[in-house]
Amino acid sequence: MEITWRDLMTVLHGMGFGALFMLAFTGAIIELYRMAVPGLPAIPNPRNQTLFRFYLIAMVVLAWLSVFSGAYVIYPWYRAAAPAGLTDLAAYPRNLLLSSPTTSGWHRLGMEWKEHVAWIAPIAMTMVAYVYAKYGPSLAKYRHLHRAVFYFTLAAFVATGIAGAFGAFLNKYAPIRGGETIQLMKGK
Amino acid sequence: MASTKQTASTELPNGPGAAALLAAGIGCATMGVFTLLAEASKGINTLFSFYAPTGALSGVSTLAIVVWLVAWFALHRAWAVREVAMARVSIAAFVLLLIGFALTFPPFMELLLGK
């Protein structure tokens, strides 16, 4: 069982950082919504407050790792220009997608949107984590601020969804392969 | 942006939260505006290529982060101990967030650039 270095880094970017960040939205959205629902205990115990602070900080770290690994590790492999005259474009995903009208949209819409909209998520979630760290569960008392924080979290979720979905599709049509081969397990 | 009386109560003022929120909106909108500029002009695109393998995305994202953090710092200094009109700040932040989404959406960019 083998994997190439670029495959490994792509999995780390997409699954290790991106998908984990995406999954974490469920907890953040539910907790931010729950804290302002009438009838539910607005003030969780101090342990849960601390836990939620760390939860949001972990989301922020994952968000920044996702965009930085995407922009500075994966994207250069994706956009590397193929030498003139090369017919096998498998190692040059951007050129491969643009070489056919049936796939060029994956670059022109998918990658072009994904590479920029993704940055909205870490900016928004850093704000959300800061505001919760500052106000804690009493954030629910600041009605407008709480609502804004909640909707920015939803916006970050949408931005991450766009980036993640296009990332998955792009990796289907033009996977980033190559680099050193790492042997994970010997076959029988 | 409305605001601005100094808070005297023991409750935390909403200013620091408002500063973080508005700055996030500014950061998102800046990301969109710089993306549009890089798309509109070859010269700006080259100027934004801080790291050649990543191309203009490196400059667009770096500068958006710088603008966001500077805006946050400045707004925080101005509003740290103040109560601000949160409803207006929220609306401004959402408009800026929408600008960020719209200007990073390729078909909308192409429409604006007449492509």
Residues 12-41 of B with CB under 8 A from A: 12, 14, 16-18, 20-21, 23-24, 27-28, 31-32, 35
Of A67, A74, A116, A147, which to mutate for an interface test with B (greatest number of B Cβ within 10 Å)? Answer: A116
pLDDT of B97 over the 50 cut:
yes
Q: Could you give the percent of chain A with pLDDT greater than 70?
A: 98
pLDDT of A152 over the 80 cut:
yes
ipTM above threshold 0.85: yes
The torsion of the CA quartet A132, A114, B49, A93, rounded to 10 degrees, works out to 140
Mean of the pLDDT values across residues A22-37? Answer: 93
* B87 to chain A, closest Cα gap in Å: 6
DSSP string, chain A: -EEEHHHHHHHIIIIIIIIHHHHHHHHHHHHHHHTTSTTS-SS--HHHHHHHHHHHHHHHHHHHHHHHHIIIIIHHHHHPPPPTT----TT-HHHHHHTSTTTHHIIIIIIHHHHHHTTHHHHHHHHHHHHHHHHGGGGGGSHHHHHHHHHHHHHHHHHHHHHHHHHHHHHHHS----S-EEE-S---
First to last CA, chain B: 36
Residue B83: enclosing H or E segment and its boundaries? Answer: strand B82-83
Pick from A43-47, B32-36, B39-43: least confident: A43-47
Contact call for A145 and B14, based on CB within 8 A: yes
pLDDT of A25 over the 80 cut:
yes
Mean of the pLDDT values across residues A19-44? Answer: 87
pLDDT digit string (tens) for A89-137? 999 999 999 999 999 999 999 999 999 999 999 999 999 999 999 999 8
Question: What pLDDT score does B2 carry?
Answer: 46
pLDDT of A186 over the 50 cut:
yes
Closest CA to B64 of A121, A106, A95: A121
Pick from A71-75, A139-143, B34-38: least confident: A139-143
Distance, in Å, from the CA atom of B61 to the CA atom of B71, rounded to the nearest integer, reads 15
- Find the residue in B nearest to A132 (Cα): B17
pLDDT digit string (tens) for A57-97? 999 999 999 999 999 999 999 999 999 889 899 999 999 99
- Average pLDDT, rounded, for chain A: 94
More confident residue, A179 or A126: A126
Contact call for A124 and B24, based on CB within 8 A: yes
Mean of the pLDDT values across residues B23-32? Answer: 98
Exposed / middle / buried, residue A32 (Cβ in 10 Å: 0-12, 13-18, 19+): buried
Alpha-carbon separation of residue A107 from A101, A171, A186, B26 (angstroms): 11, 11, 37, 27
Interface of A with B (CB under 8 A): 67, 71-72, 75-76, 79-80, 108-109, 112-113, 115-117, 119-120, 123-124, 126-127, 130-131, 134-135, 138-139, 141-142, 144-145, 147-149, 151-152, 155, 159
- Find the residue in A nearest to B91 (Cα): A148
Question: What pLDDT score does B3 carry?
Answer: 47
Exposed / middle / buried, residue A101 (Cβ in 10 Å: 0-12, 13-18, 19+): exposed
pLDDT of A170 over the 50 cut:
yes
Question: What pLDDT score does B112 carry?
Answer: 96
Question: What pLDDT score does A147 carry?
Answer: 96
